[in-house]
Amino acid sequence: MEDILQQISQSLSDIFESDVVQFGIRAIGIYLVILWLASAYWAFRDMQQRSDNAILPYVAAAGIILFTPIFFIFAVWIYKIIRPHEKIGEVWERNLAEEALLAEVESIHHCPSCERRIDDEWIICPSCRTRLKRVCPNCSRLVGMDWSLCAWCGKDFERREVPAAIEALPRSREATGRIAASGTAASSAATSPTALPSSSRTSASTRSLSPTST
């Protein structure tokens, strides 16, 4: 009986002392050491991404180193529990998204007097009747109440109708000159361009009449 036990222990010690097993144990040891150092490096990098503090990454790495290659896995667990929840990049991204949302909310137009939500194309507030926009007399597009000229067509709102009348003057004189040559009867029609078909008719009639008169 004792011989059998002795034989088993002998064979076990033989197995442990064999080169293959020794090599295996050594390889596992080396692997654990590499894993231990890599974990410390990972904690260092991870903390760098989560904190602006320059010392904290070193503290995290040192904590894992202190737990030795055998127990470092417990340090990794502790680190995962107590590390900052968000990365700096994630915080930055979240702030950016919040700012974008805020800008979107601010872009929604409100009536300046009653704060009612209004459409961008309304010219008058339906609640308090405040003038919101006006229509350009030249291009019929919506322009702001404070615009001094139309951004769409360039019409100057500050310049009153007087220059327009001056601009129109040579044109009317030219027209009256043309009509005076064709006949005196059409001179009244030149002042109102809407009556042009009738004026052409009268000028035609005077032209048809003129050969007979001469």
Q: Which residues would be at the binding site for Zn ion (CB under 5 A)?
A: 111, 114, 116, 125, 127-128, 130, 136, 138-139, 150, 152-153, 155
Output the smallest distance, CB 199 to Zn ion, in A.
31
Output the smallest distance, CB 193 to Zn ion, in A.
22
Strand locations in the chain (E)? 133-135, 142-144
Task: Considering the complex, state which of residue 60 and residue 136 has its C-beta at the smaller distance from Zn ion.
Answer: 136
Q: How far apart are CA 195 and CA 188, in angstroms?
A: 9
Output the smallest distance, CB 176 to Zn ion, in A.
30
Residue corresponding to tokens 């596992």: 28
Task: Considering the complex, state which of residue 87 and residue 134 has its C-beta at the smaller distance from Zn ion.
Answer: 134
Task: Considering the complex, state which of residue 11 and residue 127 has its C-beta at the smaller distance from Zn ion.
Answer: 127
Output the smallest distance, CB 121 to Zn ion, in A.
15
Exposure string over 19-52, b if 16+ CB within 10 A, otherwise e? eeeeeeeeeeeeeeeeebeebbebbbebbbebbe
Query: Helix, strand, or coil here: 158?
Result: coil
Give the CA distances from residue 3 to residues 11, 14, 17, 154, in Å, rounded to whole numbers and listed in that order. Answer: 12, 16, 21, 114
Task: Considering the complex, state which of residue 44 and residue 152 has its C-beta at the smaller distance from Zn ion.
Answer: 152
